[in-house]
Structure 1
């Protein structure tokens, strides 16, 4: 599932030109945006036992400069809930968490970038 934020590609390109400081700012911005989605996904996750909601994690930054947000590996059934199965309807919580909070994600990331670059 790939989601692209408009304008972020150019911003990331400009950050990369700033070198090591920009790399840390980029990491901090990704983490800040991811935390917004993580919180929303935890709130939206089905609460049958509560374990899924408590175990929504953010990955380390991937080689392509992205992060993954979702259930920890021990909560593999979260994928079944998100996408459904041949015998169970989907009960999405990750995609809606992102879509409903896209503006806040962008605001948080922009705020971290401005602060990190002293703007």
Structure 2
């Protein structure tokens, strides 16, 4: 369990959204083996993911270029959801403005102005650290 969490960033989602997910199957297996603390792991991970989503959203809003303010005000995050049978938790953070991806990645006529990727990159190490602390607290 000493390995860093397997975080996945997908910066080219529709609309320039960034999502992150973590495969919690190892944590779930550990939880099943440790009946005294098992019920505490899932809620702690979920709390950490929700906080990280809010932090990424806040940073993205701070980093987003502002012309009319539409892009910045359209940045939000989805509810936390479980994907597949492995117990992977996922949340999506990004703009609903249809041009968000073009601002993030640029076009042939416009240089990229990344805001989602850097917001994710700022917060991923702290999230990974919290997951390591959660794992260490149950071992």
Question: What TM-score, normalized by structure 2, do the two folds share?
Answer: 0.61
Q: Which runs of 5+ in 1 are unaligned?
A: 1-5
Alpha-carbon separation, structure 1, partners of 2:130 and 2:54? 9
Q: Note if contact 2:59-2:119 (Cα within 8 Å) is conserved in structure 1.
A: yes
Q: Which runs of 5+ in 2 are unaligned?
A: 7-21, 33-37
The structure with the larger Rg is 2
- Matching of residue 40 in structure 1 with residue 59 in structure 2: yes
Q: Which among 46, 50, 72 is matched to residue 27 of structure 1?
A: 46
Alpha-carbon separation, structure 2, partners of 1:95 and 1:14? 27
The structure 1 segments of at least 4 consecutive aligned residues displaced by more than 4 Å after TM superposition are 107-111
Where 1:89 maps in the other structure, the secondary structure is coil
Question: What TM-score, normalized by structure 1, do the two folds share?
Answer: 0.69
Bigger helix fraction:
1
Displacement of 1:69 after TM fit?
1.1
Bigger strand fraction:
2
Alpha-carbon separation, structure 1, partners of 2:45 and 2:26? 10
> What is the aligned-residue RMSD (CA, Å)?
3.1
What is the aligned residue count? 109
Q: Which among 10, 15, 35 is matched to residue 27 of structure 2?
A: 15
